Amino acid sequence: MKYISTRGNTPAQSFEDVLLTGLAPDGGLFIPESVPKIDHEQLLAWKNLSYAELAFEILRLYVGDSMPEEDLRDIINETYPVFSHPDVAPLHALGDNEYVLELFHGPTLAFKDFALQLLGKLLDYFLKRRQQHVAILGATSGDTGSAALEGCRHCKFVDMYILYPHNRVSEVQRRQMTTVPGDNANSLAIEGNFDDCQNIVKKAFADQSFLPEGYQLVAVNSINFSRIMAQIVYYFYAGLNFIDNHEAVSFSVPTGNFGDIYAGYLAKKMGLPVDRLIIATNQNDILHRFISNNSYSLGTLEPSLSPSMDIMVSSNFERFLFDLFEGDSSRVESFVSNLNNNAQQVSETEWNRAKRVFDSCRVDDDATCAIIKEVYEEYRYLLDPHSATGVEAARECCAGSKNPVICLATAHPAKFAEAIERAGLETPALPEHLGDLLEREERFTVLPAELDAVTELISKTL
């Protein structure tokens, strides 16, 4: 398996190289050169596998010859036992044909653990083999930071620097980052907003000359293909429950950067019978505006009750555009780079093709609170605000459909108390392993929103 860039100006790379960089050198995103196809017989054979066994069958197709299969199997077998539920990703039935796929049983209570727990182990494996050190640098508005710190804190060859906006993340989110033990975990509170953090990170990646000899930066946001790869597994794990009678299922996915739903798109491309992929957005609705009006344009960033979906541009959408433009990299490039100046659109035929795969729905804060309350009253089931947008979108887009719809529950409700309170409900307690989170000692460094301040700290502490 080799990976190519959506911008077409990078030679094909191995999985190992893709994991260790993130963004392609030409500014594009890595995608598999060809997507492996799974036939119906194979799907039936996968139906009764455990989560880890299924993960092995799928990931080996993407890792290719970057590592011996037995090593990959060992890594996977060590990864998923840290999840607190024996099924890892349990499927919970709500009403008729309506399901919730619980992706919040990992250490930091959001779906990002699925990929970042694995990424930590993969990095350790390859870096040990190469005897090389790297620095992870990332900006976070919440869930990615804690999942990355938790996933990589045991890595001997990795130092981590996670930037978050000082005083602008929730207390639970901040504490999940600042209380991670380990000498290699550095939480940097930046005196600015999330965009300031992201800009610093982008500049540091563009000029890495501040790093000591031999070091390089690794990206852990969803532009890193290894994250997408790990997320393909739970679409199969859930969808295979319905495979016997050839029933296609729909997935409703709370979406920000288009990473999670792009994994669902790859699962469909591989051969999982998927009816629709529903993009659920909050008021930051660039993707919904594209699907409903064929207009992809920057809006203003509006803080919402589902902060992990607060984005202006969805980076991973570029990966889908590459397919939509049938591999024409120059069109991908012009679509993405002209976005700053004006709204982008695609041809009528292309737009219709996109709409055959994706449906979309915008769920604002009021609608989010309303559905949290409604589902709680119907089923005594408490949704977090991100997951709630998915359930509402499923109900709006799938009314009258006979196919089962699986709503991805991307975070645990205890993580986002404000929305639960606004819905008039009582916040649940944090799960046991985080019960003492509010008493743990915090470690973080406050820095001005300046590139030099960050690079100086990194080069001093590496």
Ligand X SMILES: *Cc1c(COP(=O)(O)O)cnc(C)c1O
Q: Among all residues, which ones are annotated catalytic?
A: 112
Which residues are within 8 A (CB) of 298 and not within 5 positions of it... i.e. 6 or more apart?
Answer: 286, 312, 313, 339, 340
> Taking every pair of C-alpha atoms in the chain, what is the biggest distance, in angstroms?
61
Candidates 184, 257, 282, 283: give the one binding ligand X (CB under 6 A): 257
Residue whose CB is less far from ligand X, 150 or 260: 260
Least Å distance between CB 44 and ligand X?
29
Q: Distance between terminal CA atoms of the chain?
A: 33
Residue whose CB is less far from ligand X, 157 or 322: 322
Residue whose CB is less far from ligand X, 411 or 458: 411
Residue whose CB is less far from ligand X, 250 or 308: 308
How many helices (DSSP H) and strands (DSSP E) are in the chain? 18, 13
- In one-letter notation, the amino acid at residue 178 is T
Least Å distance between CB 187 and ligand X?
17
Convert residues 292-311 into a mask of x (bound to ligand X by CB under 6 A) and - (unbound).
----------------xx--
Residue whose CB is less far from ligand X, 233 or 309: 309
Least Å distance between CB 162 and ligand X?
14
Q: Which region among 33-41, 120-128, 241-249, 255-263 touches ligand X (by CB under 6 A)?
A: 255-263
Convert residues 75-114 into a mask of x (bound to ligand X by CB under 6 A) and - (unbound).
-----------------------------------x-x--
Residue whose CB is less far from ligand X, 178 or 252: 252
- How many chain residues are in contact with ligand X, going by CB under 6 A? 16
**Per-residue b or e along 122-157, where b marks 16 or more CB atoms closer than 10 Å to that residue's CB:** bbbbbbeeeeebbbbbbbbbbbbbbbbbbbbbebeb
Angle at 135 between CA 132 and CA 136, to 5 degrees: 125
3-state class of 452 per DSSP? helix
Q: Does 259 bind ligand X (CB under 6 A)?
A: yes
Q: Does 411 bind ligand X (CB under 6 A)?
A: yes
Show the DSSP H helices in 96-224 as ranges.
Answer: 112-130, 143-152, 171-178, 194-206
**Per-residue b or e along 170-196, where b marks 16 or more CB atoms closer than 10 Å to that residue's CB:** eebbbbbbbbbeeebbbbbbbebbbeb
Q: Which region among 9-17, 186-194, 252-260, 435-443 touches ligand X (by CB under 6 A)?
A: 252-260
Q: Does 251 bind ligand X (CB under 6 A)?
A: no
Q: Under a CB-based contact definition with an 8 Å cutoff, are residues 411 and 110 in contact? A: yes
* Tokens of residue 6, six digits: 């959506």
Calculate the CA 111 to chain-centre distance: 7
Candidates 173, 184, 252, 410: give the one binding ligand X (CB under 6 A): 410
Residue whose CB is less far from ligand X, 110 or 119: 110
Pairing of strands 158-165, 134-139: parallel
Q: Does 258 bind ligand X (CB under 6 A)?
A: yes
Q: Which region among 85-93, 174-182, 258-266, 392-400 touches ligand X (by CB under 6 A)?
A: 258-266
Q: Under a CB-based contact definition with an 8 Å cutoff, are residues 253 and 360 in contact? A: no
Query: What order do you get walking across the sheet with 405-409 strand by strand?
Result: 91-93, 98-102, 405-409, 249-254, 274-281, 358-362
DSSP string, 161-195: EEEEETT-S-HHHHHHHHT--STTEEEEEEES-HH
Q: How far is CA 112 from CA 142, 212, 271, 425, in A?
A: 11, 30, 24, 26
Q: CA-CA distance, 222 to 153, in Å (whole number)?
A: 19
Candidates 79, 117, 255, 455: give the one binding ligand X (CB under 6 A): 255
Backbone angles phi, psi at 3, to 5 degrees: -120, 140
Least Å distance between CB 318 and ligand X?
13
Q: Which region among 24-32, 171-179, 248-256, 360-368 touches ligand X (by CB under 6 A)?
A: 248-256
Of residues 366-405, those binding ligand X (CB under 6 A): 386
Candidates 256, 264, 404, 413: give the one binding ligand X (CB under 6 A): 256
Q: Is residue 281 within a helix (H) or strand (E), and if so which, with residue range?
A: strand 274-281
* Tokens of residue 255, six digits: 């979406």
Convert residues 9-48 into a mask of x (bound to ligand X by CB under 6 A) and - (unbound).
----------------------------------------
Of residues 157-196, those binding ligand X (CB under 6 A): none
Q: CA-CA distance, 95 to 381, in Å (whole number)?
A: 11
Residue whose CB is less far from ligand X, 184 or 410: 410
Least Å distance between CB 112 and ligand X?
5
Residue whose CB is less far from ligand X, 159 or 260: 260
Least Å distance between CB 166 and ligand X?
20
Query: Shortest CA distance to 73 belongs to which of 90, 89, 91, 50?
Result: 50
Q: Which region among 7-15, 90-98, 257-265, 352-360 touches ligand X (by CB under 6 A)?
A: 257-265
Q: Does 360 bind ligand X (CB under 6 A)?
A: no
Q: Does 151 bind ligand X (CB under 6 A)?
A: no
Q: Does 62 bind ligand X (CB under 6 A)?
A: no
| Binding interface with ligand X (CB under 6 A) | 110, 112, 143, 222, 254-260, 308-309, 386, 410-411
